[in-house]
Chains A and B, each alone.
Chain A
Amino acid sequence: MNNQHTLRQCFQRALELKATDSVEDLAYGASPVWDSVAHTALVAELESSFGVELTPEDILQITSFQKAQQVLAGRGVGFE
């Protein structure tokens, strides 16, 4: 399983999405499913799935799927 797929699963679990739902178009604050509680769950999912510890700045920077990928890449997670 590649990291792109793992990241997608993190979003699906934390935001309680269906496997068929798109995650690429989600935006924190704009998508009703992505509220502060879902954000908390998402950060917990990302940390446990990728074995990283996110900083306060990281937490606030994760505002989309693509931003999450960038933040994780900055923590050494590879996305080919």
Chain B
Amino acid sequence: MVSIVPFSAEWSPRVREFNRRLVAGGLDPDLQFPEEPKAEFATTPEAAVYQEFFLAGEDGVVRGAYFLTHESWSIGGEICAVANYRLPLSEGLVEAAYRGVSLVLVRDALKRQPLLYCLGMSSYDRPLPRTLRALKWPMFSTPFFFHAVHPSRVLRQLTSLRRSPWRRAAFDLAAFSGAGWAALRLKQGWRRRGRPEPATGRVEGEFGAWADELWGKVNKTYQALAVRDARVLNLRYPPADPRFIRLRVDGPGGLLGWALLLATEMQDHKHFGNLRVGTLVDGLARPEDAGAVVRAAVEELRRREVDLIISNQTHAAWCGALRRAGFLEGPSNRIFAVSVQLGQRLEPWAETQSRLHVTRGDGAGPIHLL
């Protein structure tokens, strides 16, 4: 009989064996469950963000696993407990007799926290989004934006755009002749409109009282977003980690917002090759100030000599600000799905999609971009 148990250290050898069976059965080796119950955050509910790990065990054998990251969201200005349902893996992916385990996992998670969401999942034809769709979870792809600071280098390196031979040849030729650079620069330039909002950026060592002040002022201007006060931000983007760039943005009247940035030298990255990639991971401002924050972020990342800047944003104000700053929209592999119960809190769903503030910093955060 399959039952759900908390993942404790004595289960580690059996989780290792579970992973081994999944890989032997053909599952992507990148999709492995952590072999030790080591959390990225705290594991007790007293913390602002905490995690719980669970296993589906049958006679001492692991048949499934998942973990939850518990966090707080502001929904219509009310603070609610929500959890991110992460890395559900089932023996059913490789062994037909256990196909029901994926459902057992998600139902167990829903009992622990009915307000669940998933973010990522790559594409709608993967088992997890298909299962969630069968459970009637609302979902949509979060818009992905990119801006080529050095277009010819980007065109040469963007391996994700080079899957078919003709595209590869076309991009190589365009980069060599300079036509690609001109075309991309022209297209990005066309998108830049309007007068820039006056703003200055300053890099901070951590999120302080100023971030709390901003959170208090702006959180109710979004229909829903994960809490972004200083306590949570310093957990998600630890001050001791030098890779995180915290950009505070001020206008003539004072604090406008902040952006969390990365400038990463990629090495043989499966999507970005050897580009220096800037990421606008996260940000907060009144929606009308999003443009000023985006411009300051782009300026800071240009100063750090990135080749390409990317971002995932859902809120209409942030998407519009990126487009006005010359960003183009590309194919997104980040699907945002919510449980039926969370979906009810976010009604009307069709309108909510552009009023939610979900960024690259949400869910598992900017993994693969650090």
Contacts and interface: CB of A to CB of B under 8 A. Distances in A.
B103 A39 contact: yes
- Say whether chain B's binding surface is mostly helix, strand, loop, or mixed: helix
Contact of B100 (A30, A36, A41, A44): A36
A30 B4 CA distance: 27
Category for how many chain B residues contact A: 20 to 34
A62 B103 CA distance: 13
B134 A37 contact: yes
Pick the most buried of A28, A29, A37, A38: most chain B CB atoms within 10 A of its CB. Answer: A37
Interface stretch (B90-98, B239-247, B301-309): B90-98
A30 B96 CA distance: 8
A43 B3 CA distance: 18
B333 interface: no
A60 B134 contact: no
B104 to A, nearest CB: 4
B98 A37 contact: no
B1 A57 contact: yes
Interface in A4-61: 28-30, 35-41, 43-44, 56-57, 59-60
Contacts of A28: 96, 99-100
A59 B106 CA distance: 12
Nearest to A40: B134
Nearest to B96: A29
B2 A57 contact: yes
Interface in B170-201: none
Nearest to B2: A56
Interface of B: 1-4, 56, 90, 92, 96-104, 107-108, 127, 130-131, 133-136
Interface of A: 28-30, 35-41, 43-44, 56-57, 59-60, 62
29 contacts: A28-B99, A28-B100, A29-B96, A29-B99, A30-B96, A35-B99, A36-B92, A36-B99, A37-B131, A37-B133, A37-B134, A38-B134, A39-B99, A40-B134, A40-B135, A41-B134, A43-B100, A43-B103, A56-B2, A56-B56, A56-B104, A56-B108, A57-B1, A59-B103, A59-B104, A59-B107, A60-B2, A60-B100, A60-B104
